[in-house]
Amino acid sequence: MDGQEVVAQAAQVIHRARYLVALTGAGLSVESGIPPFRGPGGLWTKYGEPPLNGFQRFLADPQKAWEERLNPNGPMRELWETLVNAQPNPGHYGLVELERLGLLRCTITQNIDNLHRRAGSELLAEIHGNATLVRCLSCVHRMPLDAVDLSRLPPSCPRCGGLLKSDTVSFGEPIPPDVLRRCQQEAARADCMLVIGTSGTVYPAAGFPLDVHQRGGTLVEINPYETDLSPYCAVVVRAPAGAALPEIVKAVRALRSN
Ligand code: APR
């Protein structure tokens, strides 16, 4: 099947969906200049997978963890530096358009880069948090990092006095209950899921497309490379998201105007 045919097939599936949800990963932000974690150019490919006890290390010495967060080095420095200058790309805007057409009911993103919000996505669940926010580990209250008094580390929650941490979910850290519940509810309602720019290797996020497939739902993968989820996808668009999504949205608009 050639590129145009698979774009048309993806548009058909989206147009017919009763409840469409998207799951996005680091690949969607590659065309914004942010490296992915795995695969070509991936941070973990370059530096090796990070330790899986980041959260435990934070709890053991929150002050040291905050100092590292504010003066990162190694892979995290590279990631923060690209985050600062990154702009949403046509892939992010394509999802905003599907949301504004009333087709896309929720975007579940694994990305912490804030680009979905900056592009205008409103029906959004940030399962791994947002790098511009800080979260209280006791009451789950979130606030912008630049609104927090960092004169004393670690900072305390202005509401309950609890320990504040970057909203970015660390390895070993439970997904905050409010966002996990939202993701589970949205995935449970989906009869169609767009799987965009994710290697499908980190759970619980990678489990949502499998749940949709298990219930007889349809998966559409948008990714230049094969992933663990590819075999479950009825439609596979082997292309960069920034190129494919605008084409798919254009084809959806054409179907809706017929
Ligand atoms: N468009 C779409 N997909 C792309 C593009 C692109 N331009 N470039 C690369 N990709 C694909 C890669 O082929 C890969 O399948 O994006 C995927 C990126 O995979 P990962 O780097 O593993 O990113 P992700 O799946 O989001 O990782 C999940 O792992 O390290 C943790 O918390 C981190 O949220 C992250 C989680």
115 pLDDT band (50/70/90 cuts)? Answer: very high
pLDDT digits (tens, 9 = 90+) for 79-98: 888 898 899 999 999 999 99
pLDDT of residue 73: 85
Name the pLDDT band for 58 (thresholds 50, 70, 90).
very high
Residue-level pLDDT at 77? 86
- Does residue 70 form part of some domain? no
- Per the listing, tokens 């045919």 go with 5
* Rounded distance from Cα 14 to ligand 1 centre (Å): 22
CATH code, domain carrying 245: 3.40.50.1220
Q: Is residue 191 part of a domain?
A: yes
Predicted local distance difference test score (pLDDT) of residue 224 = 97
Could you tell me the sign of the dihedral formed by the alpha carbons of 147, 141, 119, 224, in that order?
Answer: positive
Contact of 105 with 189, CB cutoff 8 Å: yes
Mean pLDDT value of segment 187-210: 98
- The whole-number pLDDT of residue 1 equals 62
Instruction: Provide the residue range defining the domain that includes 107.
Output: 1-34+89-130+174-258
Residue 17 lies in a domain: yes
pLDDT at 3: 85
66 Cα to the center of ligand 1, angstroms = 26
Asked if the structure places residue 152 within a domain, the reply is no
Residue 61's pLDDT band (cuts 50, 70, 90): very high
> What's the rounded mean pLDDT across residues 212-221?
98
Beta bridge partners of residue 108, listed in sequence order: 23, 125
Q: 201 CB under 6 A from ligand 1?
A: yes
Asked if the structure places residue 241 within a domain, the reply is yes
Question: Residue 256: its pLDDT value, please?
Answer: 94
**Are the C-beta atoms of residues 98 and 244 closer than 8 Å to each other?**
no
Local confidence band at 202 (pLDDT 50, 70, 90 cut-offs): very high
Could you report the per-residue pLDDT of 9-22, keeping only the tens digit for each?
999 999 999 999 99
Q: Is the CB of 110 under 6 A from ligand 1?
A: yes
DSSP one-letter code for 161: -
| Atom number, ligand 1, closest to the C-alpha of residue 198 | 25
What the block records as the tokens of 109 is 């993103």
Residue 162 CB partners (closer than 8 Å, separation 6+): 136, 137, 138, 139, 156
Report the C-alpha gap between 39 and 43 in whole angstroms: 9
Total domains in the chain come to 1
The pair phi, psi for residue 215, each rounded to 5°, is: -90, 5
Catalytic annotation, residues: 128
Could you tell me if residue 163 is inside a domain? no
Asked if residue 39 has its Cβ within 6 Å of ligand 1, the reply is yes
Q: Which of 89, 173, 223 to mutate to test the pocket of ligand 1 (most atoms within 8 A of CB)?
A: 223
Q: Ligand 1 atom 23: the closest Cα is on which residue?
A: 26
| Residue 140 in domain | no
**Tens-digit pLDDT profile for residues 141-190:** 999 998 999 999 999 999 999 999 999 999 999 999 999 999 999 999 99
Q: In what order do the strands lie in the sheet with 164-166?
A: 142-144, 133-136, 164-166
For residues 80 and 31, the model is more confident at 31
d(CA 162, CA 109): 27
Q: What is the pLDDT of residue 238?
A: 98
